């Protein structure tokens, strides 16, 4: 079965720096990959989706890359702010019927002022 690893459980960075989170998976590549943000005690919120034939996707200060050869996605937050502190989840999106998402365990990002 598919295994998803997010680089570390927790990541601390200084405000203003770029945060880079990693999502690695085994086995077959998904057609899409999604990233979510989750704040403590809340449900995840969708951020970005990237297709297998897209190398990079941007949205404001967020950038996602998807390398099917390396079986890896990188999630970048540029000019990070304390308000970016949250847990970030990657999800493999295989589009096999209705149940399309397989989630990683997440990386807890803390941006230090």
Partner 1 sequence: DVKVTQSSRYLVKRTGEKVFLECVQDMDHENMFWYRQDPGLGLRLIYFSYDVKMKEKGDIPEGYSVSREKKERFSLILESASTNQTSMYLCASSLGTGDSYEQYFGPGTRLTVT
Q: Please report, as ranges, the residues that interact with partner 1 according to CB under 8 A.
A: 32, 34, 41-46, 49, 89, 93, 95, 97-101, 103-106
β-strand partners of 91: 34, 103
Residue (of 78, 81, 109) closest to 6 by Cα position: 109
Residue with Cβ nearer partner 1 (43 or 113): 43
User: In the complex, what is the shortest distance from the CB of residue 14 to partner 1, in angstroms, rounded to a whole number?
Assistant: 27
Residue with Cβ nearer partner 1 (41 or 113): 41
What tokens does 70 get?
A: 């390396």
Answer yes or no: are the C-beta atoms of 108 and 21 closer than 8 Å: no
Residue with Cβ nearer partner 1 (23 or 80): 23
């Amino acid at each position: 079965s598919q295994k998803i690893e997010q680089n570390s459980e927790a990541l601390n960075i200084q405000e203003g720096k770029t945060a880079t989170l990693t999502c690695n998976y085994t086995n077959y590549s998904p057609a899409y990959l999604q990233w979510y943000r989750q704040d403590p005690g809340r449900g995840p919120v969708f951020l970005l989706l990237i297709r297998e034939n897209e190398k990079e996707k941007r949205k404001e200060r967020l950038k996602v890359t998807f390398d099917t050869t390396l079986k890896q996605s990188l999630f970048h937050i540029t000019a990070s702010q304390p308000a970016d502190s949250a847990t970030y989840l990657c999800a493999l999106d295989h589009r096999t019927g209705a149940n399309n998402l397989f989630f990683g365990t997440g990386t807890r990002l803390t941006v230090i002022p």
